[in-house]
Amino acid sequence: MEPRKDLLDIASLTLEEIEFVLKTAGPFKELFTKSIKKVPPLRGKTVLTLFYEPSTRTRSSFEIAAKRVSADVTNFAVSSSSVVKGESILDTIDTLQAMKCDYVVVRHGAAGVPNMIAKHTKASVLNAGDGFHAHPTQALLDAFTLRETFGSLTGKKILIVGDILHSRVARSVGRICEKLGMQVGVLGPGSLIPKSRPSFMRMFHSFEDALDWKPDTVYLLRVQLERQKDQFFPSLNEYHNVYGLTDERFRRLESEGTWVMHPGPVNRGVELGDAVMNYERTLINQQVENGIAVRMAALYWLKPQTT
């Protein structure tokens, strides 16, 4: 396995690399049950989180992960408007270079910004979500969670429901599931399912048809409320009725033993109803816990060129 500097997307990862991260995350997760959860591999290294988009969960997850591998963590606060004020991303990269960070965790509203930063810095860049493009650590933590739940994933079915068009989670999760041998179904409002989606995404036209396909897990995407404002669907209420996990659909899932996933945070009453949150086959909290282990593994795996 060639050393890799950056984690920018799932598409460019080899199966061997994915397996390495998933395998490494296991022992890290076991630490969480111990009183001392910290191990030393990144001692003396600096991790900087650079979030141009607000996020509490992902940022905290990276921060905890970095601390548990003994790195020093700094949060670099940037407002998205700094670009407008005339500060380019390249200016920010110069600042980062001068600070001699070893790892940079980036989230940005525009696709490709982590790629740009990676090209211009010796530090390892971890993409924590860029525009509609990619969210590779989310995909890795979901793959880890699926492995924990199902063991081998070959031939297993995942149904991704919601805004396939704008979702970086759908892109990255769909891709990793395909790479790991799963069948991937998608369902959502016609206006949010791209015409030119990858061929491995099988499209369903109603929730009922999709459930007839007998997915092993249903992956609900978070609905961005501004999509309704932009007329991609008529109302949140209608979204829930047509594409949400209503009580009726939930009863069917429950009876068939189907698992439920969601990248969080959940819009209750939109993607799913209250009952689902207490369902024993809801993996949402496990996803959060596994996020830390997988991000520890990713930090451990990447090789910055900062020496």
Partner 1 sequence: MSDEALILRNGQLAQEDAPELLDTDLMIEKGRLKAVGPKLPAVEGVAEIDCTGRIFLPGLFDVHVHLREPGREDKETIATGSEAAINGGVTGIVAMPNCTPAIDSGGMVQSVLDIASREARIPVLTTGCITKGRLGQELANIGGMHARGAVMITDDGDPVGNHQILRRAMEYAREFDLIVASHCEVKELSGVGAMNEGEVSYRLGIPGIPAESEEICISRDIRLAHLTGAHVHIQHVTSGEGMRIIERFKEDGIKVTCEVSPHHLIFNETHIEDYDTHYKMNPPLRTAEDNAILLDGLKRGVFDVIATDHAPHTDFEKQLDFASAPFGITGLETALPSLYQHFIKPGHFGWDLLVKRYAAEPRRLLGLDLVEFKEDAPVNLTLFNPERETHFTEDFMRSKSRNTPFLDKQVQGHVEMVILGDQILLDRISRSS
Binding track over 58-77 against partner 1, x by CB under 8 A: --------------------
Among 15, 90, 99, 225, binds partner 1 (CB under 8 A): 90
Selection from 124, 114, 128 nearest residue 45 by Cα: 124
Among 42, 69, 89, 180, binds partner 1 (CB under 8 A): 89
Among 112, 200, 264, 267, binds partner 1 (CB under 8 A): 112
What is the Cα–Cα distance from 46 to 42, expressed in whole angstroms?
8
Q: Are 281 and 21 in contact (CB under 8 A)?
A: no
Residue 157 phi/psi, 5-degree rounding, is: -115, 130
Q: Is 285 among the residues that bind partner 1 (CB under 8 A)?
A: no
Q: What's the N-to-C CA distance of the chain in angstroms? A: 19
Q: Is 13 among the residues that bind partner 1 (CB under 8 A)?
A: no
Please tell me whether residue 177 adopts helix, strand or coil conformation: helix
Span interacting with partner 1, options 34-42, 195-203, 235-243, 287-295, rule CB under 8 A: 195-203
Q: Is 116 among the residues that bind partner 1 (CB under 8 A)?
A: yes
CB of 158 vs partner 1, minimal distance in Å: 19
Among 39, 111, 275, 288, binds partner 1 (CB under 8 A): 111
Q: Are 181 and 157 in contact (CB under 8 A)?
A: no
Q: Is 83 among the residues that bind partner 1 (CB under 8 A)?
A: yes
Residue 113 phi/psi, 5-degree rounding, is: -60, -45
Q: Are 204 and 159 in contact (CB under 8 A)?
A: yes
Which residues make up the interface to partner 1 (CB under 8 A)? 11, 83, 88-90, 108, 110-113, 115-116, 119, 130-134, 168, 171, 194, 196-198
